[in-house]
Amino acid sequence: MKLREEQTILRIVSKLLLPFILLFALYVQFHGDYGPGGGFQAGVIFATGIVLYGLVFGLEAAETALPPRWLQVLMPLGLLLYAGVGVANILLGGEYLNYNTLDAHDPVHGQHLGILLVELGVGITVAAVMVSVFYAFSDRGKD
């Protein structure tokens, strides 16, 4: 604990970097349909932000910022969002994950919306799983 408090440079630099890491994750997430990126990459980048925070400020601080209970909800939620989009497509009269159905007038817009939602689901689940793995490992040997 003492060691951690002495690392002033580390603490300040990570605090400065953190918003940009998370912002970059969101950029990779939502720009993924135009440029390189998507849910997997964005989820991992987002999780590295939390992991960095946990490494520098301690597990307790990270768990206050993003409680494990939330992760238990976020993990299935992302998958539900993904699978739910497909079910919505079926209900709208198309095949599973046929995004064309999402917009009755402009199928291209439908495709755009569909991939955005699906990748958002992927991003949420990947980020939550990555952070959970980190918590699970750093929690070991405490009790």
Partner 1 sequence: MTGLALLLEQLPALQVVLPLLAAPVCVLLRRPNLVWALSCLTSLGCLGIALTLARQIYPHGVISYAMGGWAPPFGIEYRLDELSVFMLVVVSLAASLVLIGARQSIQREIPADRIHLLYAAVLLMLTGSLGIISTGDAFNLFVFLEIASLSTYALVAMGRQRRALVAAFQYLVLGTIGGTFILIGVGLLYMMTGTLNMQDMAERLPPVLHTTTALAALAFLVIGAALKLALLPLHIWLPNAYTFAPSMISALLAAISTKVAAYVLIRFVYGIYDLRWSGLNLPLNDVLALLAVAAMLFASYVAVRQQEVKRLLAWSSLAQIGYIVLGLSLATSAGLAASTLHILNHAVIKAGLFVAVAAVLFRQGGSTLQLADLAGLSRGMPWTTAAIIAGGLGLIGVPLTAGFVSKWALLQALIESGTWLYVAALLASSLLAVIYVWRIIEACTASTGDRDIQRREAPLGLQLSIWALVAMNLYLGINSSPGMRLATEASGRLLAPTAGVPL
Residues that bind partner 1 (CB under 8 A): 72-73, 75-77, 79-80, 83-84, 86-87, 90, 93-100
Contacts of 57 (CB under 8 A, 6+ apart): 4, 11, 14
| Cα separation, 128 vs 83, whole angstroms | 17
**Could you tell me the smallest distance in angstroms from the CB atom of residue 74 to partner 1?**
10
Give the nearer residue to partner 1 in terms of CB position, either 17 or 83.
83
CB 132 within 8 A of CB 71: yes
Instruction: Return the axis-axis angle of helices 39-57 and 107-138, rounded to nearest 10°.
Output: 30
**Could you tell me the smallest distance in angstroms from the CB atom of residue 55 to partner 1?**
26
**Could you tell me the smallest distance in angstroms from the CB atom of residue 80 to partner 1?**
5
Give the nearer residue to partner 1 in terms of CB position, either 1 or 91.
91
